[in-house]
Structure formats: C-alpha cells, structure tokens
Amino acid sequence: MSTASLYRFSGIILLISVGLNLVASIWPFLVDTSLNAPMSELQSPQWATFYSLSFIIFVLLLIGLPAMYLRQSGERGGKMGLIGLFLYLVGIFLKMATIAFFVSVIPLLAKQSPEVIDPIYESNFAIFPLGGMLLCLIGFILLGSAVIRAKVYPTFVGVLIIVSALFDVAQVAFQDGTSFAIVNLLFSISIALALGSVGKSLASGQKLAG
C-alpha cells in the first residue's frame, strides 16, 4: 500500500469513527450509561450496546490516529506528538479492557450479585478506567499541542483535541444521567470537529494549514 493510499484509508477510518461516536452520543440520553446507573439499566441491552459501540470506536481510532501523527511527524512538535500519541493509544487499550469487563461481566453481576459491583469499582480494577482516562488526557494535551506547533492541520484542530480531552475527564464529575449525557455530547462534538477535519484532509489528500 502506498503512502497516499495509507493516508486515504486512515482518513476514512477516522471519519467513520467520529460518525459512530456522534451516534453513540445519543445513547446516554436514552439510557443511563454512567457508573452510577441503576441495576435495571446495567442489565439493559441498550447499556451493553453503548459500550460495545464505544469499543468499536476505540479500535477505529487505534487504526486511524497513527497516520494523523505521521502526516506532521517531520514538523515542529514531532517528539511531543509521538509521546502524546503513544500515551493516548495506551490509554485507549486500558479503556478497551474496561469496556470488555463492563459488557461481559457487569450485566451478569447486576442480575445475580449486585452487591459486589461497588466493591469492584473501588478495588484495584479502578486503575483501568482511571489510568485510561489520565493517559488519554495527557496524551491528547500533548498531541493537540503538537498539532498547534506543527501547523500542518488548522490550529482549531489542536485546540479542539485538547478541549475534548478535558470534556472526557469532566464526565467523571458528572455521573448523574442528564449531566453525563450533556458532557458526553460536548466531548463527541469537539472530537468530531477535530478528527473529522483531519480525516477529511487525509482521505482527500489535502495538506491543510492555518
């Protein structure tokens, strides 16, 4: 596969990922997807569907994001961008591990042994969601800063990448259904605008700057 074809493929993957992410952002308005969701919600197919869709989105990001970095790797902020990308990808792996647990184990526990769910959340298992969140935050701040410095993509792309990281972390503070849904929607919109612009650039072969 040529470099141009690889960029085009990665751009399409990023566009699909942000499209699915916008679709997924509707779910929290229909069902409580927060960690404080009632047991009846944890057993709902809608709850499992949301996290399964999130898992797919993360897989697509793992495929598409490296090309975003490679496009600007020779410019200013190259090392910063590489470190940021690496931390974000590791964070995604931790989040994927968390989602796999949520989808496969939590609904079963909610049905048979709901009293053990809170102790699990408070145990060493917390390193997966919290570690993933922290690594994604630091990773996207560094990657967004590198985008701003490199000037290969428009400046707003870097700014929105950083903003989306802050919204991602803010979801932890807003665990009631409506607040979580609103913050999740803001995260989805900001990341869609940023990575959608990158995906369009890669897929079309354009070299944006500004």
Domain ranges of the chain: 3-204
Q: What is the pLDDT of residue 111?
A: 66
Q: Say what the pLDDT of residue 168 is.
A: 87
Question: Which residue, 62, 53, 50, is CA-closest to 92?
Answer: 62
Q: What is the pLDDT of residue 209?
A: 46
Where the chain has pLDDT below 50, the residues are 208-210
Would you state the pLDDT for residue 107?
67
The confidence score (pLDDT) of residue 210 equals 41
- Across the chain, the runs of DSSP E, i.e. the strands, are none
pLDDT of residue 141: 94
The terminus-to-terminus CA distance of the chain in angstroms comes to 29
The pTM of the whole model exceeds 0.85: no
Cβ contact 39:125 at 8 Å: no
pLDDT number for residue 23: 92
Would you state the pLDDT for residue 97?
86
pLDDT score, position 194:
93
